[in-house]
Amino acid sequence: MKRIPVAIAILLLFLGVATLGIVYAKSTCTTMSEYAQTAQQYCEENNAADAAETINRMSAYFKSRHPVLSLYAHHDELETLDTNLVVVTEQVAVENLSLAAVTLSEINFMVNHIYERELPSFHNLF
């Protein structure tokens, strides 16, 4: 008789963890997208100093979120995102802002891709 309540408790725990993962991924996606779009706008305006500052804040934010994201996101996607952050930092440092804007678009795409991958769908449930 105790098996049913235990099974329900375990299922609710799994559901809670999955929901928290989706909320965490959405929060990360939204913030990283805002940083990327702001930095991209600075690059288009040829404002290297503000772009560099925004990219540094974005990198610090990503590093703070990386330990939790690495629990459920694909490591190759996180590594690609981390590599792109290093690349865009160097591009802005040498003031290659047109190429930095393209890399920021890739970062924005990758962040959205990681979030979309975490959403429950028929493909990842079965």
* pLDDT average, residue stretch 40-50: 93
Domain that holds residue 105: 3-125
- Could you give the CA distance from residue 86 to residue 98 in angstroms, rounded to a whole number? 16
Token reading at 34 = 């805002």
CATH number for the domain harbouring residue 57: 1.20.120.660
The tally of domains found in the chain comes to: 1
- Could you give the CA distance from residue 61 to residue 69 in angstroms, rounded to a whole number? 12
Identity of residue 11? L
Instruction: Using the Cα atoms of residue 30, residue 34, residue 35 and residue 39 in order, give the sign of their dihedral.
Output: positive
pLDDT in tens, 47-89: 999 999 999 999 999 999 999 888 878 889 999 999 999 999 9
Q: Which of 37-51, 75-89, 106-120 has the lowest mean pLDDT?
A: 106-120
> Is-contact 55 85, C-beta < 8 A?
yes
Strand ranges for 50-114 from DSSP E: none
Output the pLDDT for position 117.
Answer: 83
Indicate the DSSP class of residue 1: -
pLDDT classification of 108: cutoffs 50, 70, 90 = very high
Q: Which of 67-71, 91-95, 107-111 has the lowest mean pLDDT?
A: 67-71
Tell me the three state secondary structure of residue 96.
coil
